[in-house]
Amino acid sequence: MENQSDVPVSPVRPAPRAPASGVRAVVSHIVHRREAAIFLALVLILVGITVVAPNFVSASNLHILSRQISFVALVALGQLFVILHGGIDLSVGSIMALAGMVAAYCMKIEINPVLAVLLGTSAGLVMGAINGVLIAYTRLAPFIATLGMLSFASGMVLGLTKGVPITEIPESFLPIAQGDFFGISIPVWITLVVAVIVHVVLTYTAFGRRVYAMGGNEQATFLSGVNVRRIKLALYMISAGAAALAGIILVSRFNSAQADTGKGWELDSIAAAVIGGTSLSGGSGSVLGVLIGACIMGVIQSGLVQMHISSYWHTAIIGVIIVLAALLDRAKRRG
């Protein structure tokens, strides 16, 4: 009995079915989870691509693919917090660029890389805090506040760098994105570690519970004595922090900091979350869903290349998948 309560379940899972025994209960639980359907979709896509282009599942391709996916997934994990409370963060892309640029500049002027990473991340957190204050305390709509930040942060980067990339990145910094650990590239490890932490925070902590509760009914949560403003502030800082981290790792990946890094990533991260079953109205979504959503997006992009289809088709296909995922979700909720 005690055990049941400790099962990491988000508030969105379907109501428990009639008690079945042992294996069947476990299978039933898995099948009825929201993530099951999109996981199945991911498998089908993988199989489909592999049939056409067997090279797709080669070790080297999977290695590259997983690293690509890890960046979007990292940003999407931050975005998940914000979407869960019923908000949206459009500024993640430009915060990536800003944080990457700050970190790269610090390394260029020969600040210790560890300190440089911390400074870059801090720059991101400050931007997130500005978002959070605007949204939680001056009650600006999240869409507006973060749209402003999207423009402001990218403008700051362009203005300060005049659009010139910073390429003086120390050798010692490169393994962060280009190195491996047990055959898996380090960004993947970083994203996995972050994913586990996010999962634990969302499912086992009071903070996580309150984020879901706010997404479900903010007024009830407020009247329950929860400091909803402080939580909102934290959420936008988390989102910006994750984006900053991704932006900094991308500097290592490309050996340089580019002003246009992260362009369009706000939509990619939102898409990953939505494909993964996160509700844009707040209150439901999970880490597993976001990871699967990010995988679907990455697999399709890479698969098109492998199948020698022009990658220009990529966004059109992603568009169809976003809408399909949302329709599937709606059908499940009604059914």
Partner 1 sequence: MTVSDALLEVKGLAKSFPGVRALDGVDFSIRAGEVVGLLGENGAGKSTLVKTLAGVYRPDAGEILYQGRRAGFASIQKAQAAGITLIFQELNNCHNLPPLDNLFLGREIRRRGTPFLDYPAMRAKARELFDRLGIEIDLDADLSRLSTAVQQMIEIAKALLNDVKLLIMDEPTSSLTEKETERLFKVIRELKERGTAVVFISHKLNEVFAITERIVVLRDGKNAGEVNSRTGTMADLITAMVGRELAAVAPRRTADPGAEILRVEGLSGPPHVEDVSFTLRRGEILGFAGLIGAGRTETARMLIGAGPRTRGRVFLDGKEVRIRSPREAVDHGIAYVPEDRKIQALVLQMSVRENLTLAIHRSLLRFWMFLSGRKEVAITDDYIRTLRIKVSSREQVVNNLSGGNQQKVVLAKWLATKPRILILDEPTRGIDVAVKAEVHRIIAELAASGVAIIVISSELPEILALSDRVLVMDRGRVKRVIERNDATQETIMSAALLASQTAPELL
State CA 104 to chain mean position distance: 23
By beta-carbon proximity to partner 1, the closer residue of 81 and 212 is 212
Instruction: Using CB under 8 A, count the residues that bind partner 1.
Output: 31
| Contact call for residues 106 and 297 (beta carbons, < 8 A) | no
Closest contact distance (angstroms) between CB of 85 and partner 1 is: 12
Q: Cα dist. 308→52, 228, 263, 270, 301 in Å?
A: 10, 50, 25, 27, 11
Largest CA distance in the chain: 65
Contacts of 207 (CB under 8 A, 6+ apart): 201, 231, 234
Rule CB under 8 A: say whether 217 interacts with partner 1.
yes
Among 99, 213, 259, 291, interactor with partner 1 by CB under 8 A: 213
CA distance 213 to 198: 17
Residue of 228, 10, 248 lying closest to 107 (CA atoms) = 248
> What are the backbone dihedrals phi and psi of residue 67, each rounded to the nearest 5 degrees, phi first?
-70, -40
Rule CB under 8 A: say whether 216 interacts with partner 1.
yes
Interaction residues for partner 1, span 192-211 (CB under 8 A): 201, 204-207, 209-210
By beta-carbon proximity to partner 1, the closer residue of 1 and 109 is 1
Interaction residues for partner 1, span 271-290 (CB under 8 A): 283-284
Closest contact distance (angstroms) between CB of 33 and partner 1 is: 14
Closest contact distance (angstroms) between CB of 88 and partner 1 is: 20
Of the listed pieces 92-100, 218-226, 244-252, 286-294, which binds partner 1 according to CB under 8 A?
Answer: 218-226
By beta-carbon proximity to partner 1, the closer residue of 201 and 307 is 201
Among 22, 183, 225, 335, interactor with partner 1 by CB under 8 A: 225
Q: Which residue has the tokens 């929201």?
A: 34
Closest contact distance (angstroms) between CB of 118 and partner 1 is: 23
CA distance 78 to 236: 8
Closest contact distance (angstroms) between CB of 136 and partner 1 is: 13
Closest contact distance (angstroms) between CB of 9 and partner 1 is: 8
Rule CB under 8 A: say whether 120 interacts with partner 1.
no
Among 151, 167, 172, 227, interactor with partner 1 by CB under 8 A: 227
Closest contact distance (angstroms) between CB of 317 and partner 1 is: 31
Look up residue 313 and give its two tokens: 């088709």
CA distance 169 to 178: 13
Binding mask 3-22 for partner 1 (x = CB under 8 A): -xxx----xx--xx------
Look up residue 199 and give its two tokens: 């999962």
Residue of 63, 17, 97, 126 lying closest to 263 (CA atoms) = 97
Determine which helix (DSSP H) or strand (DSSP E) holds 328, and give its type and residue range: helix 314-334
By beta-carbon proximity to partner 1, the closer residue of 216 and 247 is 216
Secondary structure letter of residue 166 according to DSSP: B
Instruction: Give the interface with partner 1 as residue ranges (CB under 8 A).
Output: 1-2, 4-6, 11-12, 15-16, 201, 204-207, 209-210, 212-213, 216-217, 219-227, 283-284
